[in-house]
Each structure stands twice: as structure tokens, then as C-alpha cells.
């Protein structure tokens, strides 16, 4: 079954290449956006199986967006992972400390196979996605 991924990143180039890679290598349909102001609306519409969020973006950052997703009844059960270029996962964790989202951290510099494995694992661990749809 084709799974839907949604990626939110202000880097249009990264989105394009990530989408092409993931769709070529796995059974995924990837929706990309650089608009970090309307993520909740788009997520409600797309109903993705997983949302990948960049952390450092101008304006609203990934942490703020994940909090919005958590507090919205239509999106709160969609698993969220952060896909970031921050030096190492600890930096990212420090940023999110206290927000209690229990989210996943993936480095943008992981190889694509490693990323796909991690995505598969998150999807397996995630609560039944039918709850969100």
C-alpha cells in the first residue's frame, strides 16, 4: 500500500530531491511544502502517514509547528519526525526539551537507505493511522 509522507522544509531544492529519491526507491507518495504557516491545514487535507519537519526555518520553526499539530484534534495522532541539519541530535533535543512531543530526530545527512529504514520503523511504531483518517 502506498504511504503518504508530508515534508515541511523551507529548502525547495531539498524537498524536490527528497521526493524524487523516496518515490523512486520506495512505495511512497510525498507531498512537499515550503509554507510553514499553513501546515495544519495542509495536513488535514493530505492526511499523511508521517510528517517530516525541518527545525530551523524563518518565521515559524519545526518545534512550533509540531506543537500546533499536537494540539489540533485532526492532526494530533499523525506521527511527526524532525529532519534537520543541526550538528547532532542532541542540539535538536535541547531545542525541543520540555515540549513532551516524544518525536523522532533524523539527520538530513543520513544516507537515503538509512532514512527510509528509519521512516519504516516510525511507521511501524506509530499508533494505528486509521485513528487520524
CB atoms under 10 Å from CB of 74, counted, come to 15
Binds other proteins (CB under 8 A): choice among 30, 43, 86, 96: 86
Could you tell me how far CA 20 lies from the centroid of its own chain? 16
Q: Does residue 111 interact with other proteins by CB under 8 A?
A: yes
Smallest distance from other proteins to CB 84, Å: 8
Q: Should residue 120 be labelled a site residue for other proteins when binding is judged by CB under 8 A?
A: no
Give the cell for residue 106.
533524523
Q: What is the 3-state secondary structure (H, E, C) of 34-68?
A: CCCCCHHHHHHHHCCCEEEECCCCCCCCHHHHHHH
Footprint on residues 10-69 left by other proteins (CB under 8 A)? 11, 13-14, 16-18, 20-21, 24-25, 56-59, 61, 63-64
Q: In what side-by-side order are the strands of the sheet with 104-107? A: 28-33, 3-8, 50-53, 80-84, 104-107
Smallest distance, Å, CB 86 to other proteins?
6
82 touches other proteins (CB under 8 A): no
What's the Rg (C-alpha) of the chain? 13
Return residues touching other proteins (CB under 8 A): 11, 13-14, 16-18, 20-21, 24-25, 56-59, 61, 63-64, 85-87, 91, 95, 108-109, 111-112
Amino acid at each position: 500500500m502506498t504511504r503518504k509522507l508530508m515534508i515541511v522544509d523551507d529548502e525547495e531544492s531539498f524537498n524536490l530531491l527528497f521526493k524524487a529519491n523516496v518515490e523512486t526507491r520506495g512505495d511512497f507518495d510525498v507531498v512537499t511544502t515550503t509554507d510553514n504557516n499553513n501546515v495544519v491545514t495542509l495536513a488535514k487535507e493530505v492526511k499523511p502517514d508521517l510528517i517530516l519537519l525541518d527545525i530551523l526555518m524563518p518565521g515559524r520553526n519545526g518545534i512550533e509547528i509540531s506543537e500546533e499539530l499536537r494540539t489540533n484534534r485532526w492532526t494530533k495522532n499523525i506521527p511527526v519526525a524532525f529532519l534537520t541539519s543541526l550538528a547532532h541530535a542532541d542540539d535538536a533535543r535541547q531545542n525541543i526539551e520540555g515540549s513532551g512531543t516524544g518525536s523522532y530526530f533524523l539527520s538530513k545527512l543520513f544516507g537515503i537507505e538509512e532514512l527510509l529504514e528509519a521512516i519504516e520503523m516510525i511507521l511501524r511504531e506509530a499508533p494505528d493511522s486509521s485513528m487520524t483518517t
